[in-house]
Amino acid sequence: MAASIHFPVMAGEVIEWLQPKPGQILVDGTMGGGGHARLLAERVGPEGQVLGLDRDPAAIMAFSEANDSRIEPIHANYADLDQVLATRQIPAVDGLLLDLGLSSDQLADPTRGFSFESSGSLDQRFDPTTGEPAWRLLERMDERALADLIFQYGEERFSRRIARRIVQTRRQQPIRTAAQLSALVRSCVPRSRGHRIDPATRTFQALRIAVNNELQTLQEALGKLPELLRPGGRWAIISFHSLEDRLVKRAFREHPLLDNLTRKPIRPSESEAAANPRSRSAKLRVAQRIASA
């Protein structure tokens, strides 16, 4: 399997804020290509441990083939970390990282349907072995439900126009590929002058969030994962759109076991944003577990 082409976002900032130390047990809950996990493993050393979780079996397989003994790759949803730790008899961990962005490896795979120009199936599931692919969701939902979904999860102001065109189009032919959907959206959403974002971006985001239950998963994790951190342990989350960031911001400020360390989100440096345009929208927030009351 090809090596990962994904670059870890704000790698230096993650290390600075998580403060990994030799001998610690850390979790990368969204391991992807393993960039962040490797950096953490270097700092916990041979006496430490890094658990790398990912919902995507392709990511787990690729990392397993890389044969990096410092990290244990685990096919699991980060919201199920309590179960993962219980099976390994680990009562708590010293640090936790979630990078909620889509990986370059997923975008580059034409069979997954994440890329706008993909001619493969419009799937968009992080774990293709479970759940409903995006094309089937487009096929079964009525116009109003589609419009609401695209508006709620994509914050797309042309959601009703897009939903209407989807329903009109599917009467003539099924929408089964990402390339079909992106062309459809572009045909009915005006491109803002001087705007770099593709008109299909918000619709694709909405479908991906719905297919993978991303916000529900994040909400569940924000509620229960603080209990899995040791007192003094840190939790870093990198989000890429306002829906995620609002949930993280609120939880880090309001959860009784967390002390919010970042009043404002940390953003990528100008040099990183220039070198990796996909990092431009990233926001890093960090909280620390306090002693139980």
Query: How does pLDDT run across 153-191, given as a tens digit for each residue?
Result: 999 999 999 999 999 999 999 999 999 999 999 999 887
pLDDT confidence band for 1 (50 / 70 / 90): very low
pLDDT at 206: 97
pLDDT at 3: 53
Domain boundaries, the chain: 11-105+215-289, 112-213
Percent of the chain with pLDDT over 70: 96
pLDDT at 194: 62
For residue 54 the two structure tokens come to: 């990912």
* Residue 9 phi, psi dihedral angles, 5° rounding: -80, 135
Q: Is the pLDDT of residue 230 over 90?
A: yes
Contacts 24+ apart (CB under 8 A), 104-109: 104/4, 104/5, 104/6, 104/7, 104/33, 104/278, 105/4, 105/5, 105/6, 105/32, 105/33, 105/58, 105/59, 105/62, 106/56, 108/5, 109/58
Q: Is the pLDDT of residue 251 over 70?
A: yes
The better pLDDT of the pair 7, 135 is held by 135
Write down the CATH number for the domain with range 11-105+215-289.
Answer: 3.40.50.150
pLDDT confidence band for 293 (50 / 70 / 90): low
pLDDT digits (tens, 9 = 90+) for 83-103: 999 999 999 999 999 999 888
pLDDT at 120: 85
Write down the CATH number for the domain with range 112-213.
Answer: 1.10.150.170
